[in-house]
Amino acid sequence: MLLIALAVLTLLSIIAVTFVALMRLEMKATENFRDRGRTHLLANSAESAVISMLRSRPFWDAHVVSSRTRSPWIYGIIGGDGETRVGGILDLKDADGDEASLGGTLSRGTYPGIGAGTPGEDRYRVKLIDTSAQIHLNGKQDTLADMLTNLGQALAGDDRYGINPLWTEPNESGKLLKGADIVQFRNRLPGGQFSSKSELAALIGSENLALISDFVTAHAWVNPYTQRSGAGREVNNRVGTGVQGAGGVIGTTGVSRNLPQDPRSQRVTGAAQLGGEGRSPININTAPEPVLIATLMGVGGRRAFPYMSINS
């Protein structure tokens, strides 16, 4: 009887474990179905929003000027002759940036009923940009200011742009700003963050905003599981003439106050402490060249820890 009871209990245990596993599987399937529905509804709502924008009054009232700054989601499709929108569609990937984008006044409508315009239709293209291909303006990492400064320099050195947008006036006039100025401006905003990147216009103007808007974002996914080293973060290192380790050890990270100038002679004692710091990843496959340059410029392993202030 004892063996029979043990066999029955074992069978019941197996059934119970199988039932629990199936319930977990069903719960996961339900979550996937819910997420799929949300994604589908979000995509449909975005499409409906764009259609609503295209049908709104600013696009068919002749006295309203639509520009790249006013309507950044609109791209004019240039015709095959490269000048008009009549006579064919020029693929956006084959068009020059100035031609493909709606950079000025929307030319007169070609659809029937507007003045003496030739019957036809206006065509528009909506531009979608992966936010993981842009620099997150609300990022909290201490390297954000350097990245924004590098972005301005990268755009200035690129033949396709040739202008550093981090000026207070158009065409590189007024005062040259640094990334730290943008971060300070952000910290003074409500909640200490940008609600929209269009708020940058108050600092750099609408013309410069139009240049930099494709490379920055105020809304990006943040990976909450990224870590950063705490070593050297708050250390003010001074390069001295004494022997290695002449200064005291700073904190618990073991960073010497007198690191020698020769990187081969630098020595760090103790273990670097890791701490959580959310980061917005940048997709190397979709990010444009200026963003990649801005992200990687200055990163190196020449010293004990990257981004460590040695001479300040």
Which pTM does this prediction carry?
Answer: 0.52
* Other residues' Cβ atoms within 10 Å of the Cβ of residue 154: 21
d(CA 184, CA 276): 23
Residue 258 near residue 240, CB atoms below 8 Å: yes
* Total residues belonging to the chain: 312
Residue 108: what pLDDT?
40
Closest C-alpha to 272, from 305, 247, 301: 305
What is the tens place of the pLDDT at every residue in 80-108? 444 444 333 444 455 444 333 333 334 44
Residue 272: what pLDDT?
55
Q: pLDDT below 70 — which residues of the chain?
A: 53-127, 229-273, 300-312
d(CA 138, CA 290): 19
d(CA 141, CA 94): 37
Q: How many angstroms separate the Cα of 207 from the Cα of each of 67, 166, 231?
A: 11, 11, 41
Residue 86 near residue 80, CB atoms below 8 Å: no
Residue 65: what pLDDT?
52
Residue 227 near residue 274, CB atoms below 8 Å: yes
d(CA 37, CA 202): 39
- Please list, in sequence order, all residues whose beta carbon lies within 8 angstroms of the beta carbon of residue 22, skipping any fewer than 6 positions away: none
Domain positions in the chain are 63-128, 131-229+273-312
Q: Where are the alpha helices (DSSP H) in 59-134?
A: 97-100
Residue 262: what pLDDT?
59
Quick check: helix, strand or coil at residue 31? helix
Residue 237 near residue 309, CB atoms below 8 Å: yes
Residue 292: what pLDDT?
94
Residue 49: both structure tokens together: 């929003």
